[in-house]
Structure 1
């Protein structure tokens, strides 16, 4: 193949070539045409010169439709402009680039492709083309995302679980230290949840936990983290508060949100909530100290009769 010619069609039958060279070219052509991964060749400016059949099957663009266009038509929107700048800097320097593409098919469906792009040089070392080889990993990416979500979110309530909450708490501590700001941690336990389980059954209890999770999220800001720590225990992370009174206000909103009965078939279920509050930095400057302080405050609420709100070291309601 002439490196200066458009390889829109891979033609191994060039004139005057030795038989063994022609055989090698035919094998190479068949390998590319029958490849289980997408192959795309562009000129030095990124204009598409060739795509193999796998590309057409995956992306929906025929050679006649895509040749002469730039790969930017395939962008799915996830990769940033700096991503593409870095890519071009690498391949223009004559190096191979590897990475993950988020692309869009002609029909508008999103695909994830693991790919590499390499320069093709002529006998003088001049870059004449780039070849991209990409493997569709959309299903693998979906499964990975699903596993990641299962590892970080509670399956019953779809709230962050303990592991993700601890990660968010560590990030909040780092931000608060950097910005010299305060935040609050609310540790909460449902009152009367065991009675619902015993009276109405575990299915009703599970449904109730899901409904409680939704009300908790509605009672706080979108930027706040609501998590299920396990059982009927929940936490809320309130960042960028100006005073403990801000945390108290949110705690009262939560208590009010859960005061209304929860529908259960033709009947209703009622639960209350006890809340312990710890504030950073007054009650601790690390995750363990803050959790102990909030949990200790919650324990004092429970001892006093439930349904209350208590700061670490102080009863407020």
Structure 2
């Protein structure tokens, strides 16, 4: 006759095997005592291959150390843990997961340990990243939007202060875009703005932050400028490129570009001040006939 304890053990194992999320439990020394089928699939080993072994015998050193430290902190507190992490599944794919773990102590057997489950939150994290990207991205061009630009400018100025470097802020305004939009319609105007975004990305460094901040207005943050004079050939190059016609739907569209540049090497410069100076420089270009640049130094 099968003992009640044996029946209970079989029953509990059947229950956790039915759970779709990986479940495991370890003793006070961090050795695996048991798990469910989902955990075997996650770790890529059969239960008999890892029962009685520690994380240091199963995972690479960095991952094992992270697991061990988290388990030790939980065992010392004799409480619960909930935290997010990235893990590599048995098939080599990287997943975002949430660990739920708790300390346990069985009175009769005198066994202490921890029990945990792993909840896959990969799709949720993808959705969160997509929403965050949407909040920071101009939906038409794929460039940063005004909100993202302002956050980046604040961070750039903080880095400038720490590193005692020089930073430039450009404001770029398309000349003649309204006429194109009025003559050919918004779909053509939108297609032109997309090409403008692509063109700007080709002529700035990968580290430069390019944003569309309004209808036909763009801005660029350039960090770690070696010397102010290096901005002059860059501005002239951009102006020359935009003097060439864009081909959109077999239409030759001619526009131009005006550029206002503010350069800061002062540690106390604020984002408001550098934007104000770049805007004033751009206004001066517009007043003088467009299609050129003006450079201002923020003191």
Short-chain TM bin: 0.7 to 0.9
Matched with 2:131 is 147
Of 178, 190, 193, the residue aligned with 1:194 is 178
Matched with 2:16 is 32
TM-score (norm 1): 0.78
Of 114, 117, 122, the residue aligned with 2:98 is 114
Per-residue displacement from partner, 1:48-93 (whole Å, max 9, x unpaired)? 4433244457x38464586457668789xxx988855652442353
Q: Secondary structure at the match of 1:207?
A: helix
| Structure richer in helix, relative to its length | 2
Of 202, 209, 212, the residue aligned with 2:196 is 212
Query: Does residue 227 of structure 1 match 2:227?
Result: no
Query: Does residue 101 of structure 1 match 2:85?
Result: yes
CA RMSD, aligned part only? Answer: 3.5
Matched with 1:159 is 143
Matched with 2:261 is 277
TM-score (norm 2): 0.82
1:33 to partner: Cα distance: 2.8
Rounded Cα–Cα distance in structure 1 between residues aligned with 2:241 and 2:66: 44
* Contact 1:258-1:273 at 8 Å conserved across structures: yes
* Contact 2:13-2:36 at 8 Å conserved across structures: no
Cα pair distance change 1:14/1:131, threshold 3 Å: farther
Matched with 2:220 is 236
* Contact 1:48-1:66 at 8 Å conserved across structures: no
Rounded Cα–Cα distance in structure 2 between residues aligned with 1:120 and 1:43: 9
* Contact 1:283-1:290 at 8 Å conserved across structures: no
Matched with 1:90 is 73
* Contact 1:219-1:257 at 8 Å conserved across structures: no
* Contact 2:264-2:297 at 8 Å conserved across structures: no
Matched with 1:304 is 288
Which runs of no fewer than 5 residues in structure 1 stay unpaired?
1-12
Cα pair distance change 1:60/1:93, threshold 3 Å: closer
Which runs of no fewer than 5 residues in structure 2 stay unpaired?
none
Query: Does residue 130 of structure 1 match 2:118?
Result: no
1:30 to partner: Cα distance: 4.9
Cα pair distance change 1:167/1:205, threshold 3 Å: same
Cα pair distance change 1:249/1:41, threshold 3 Å: farther
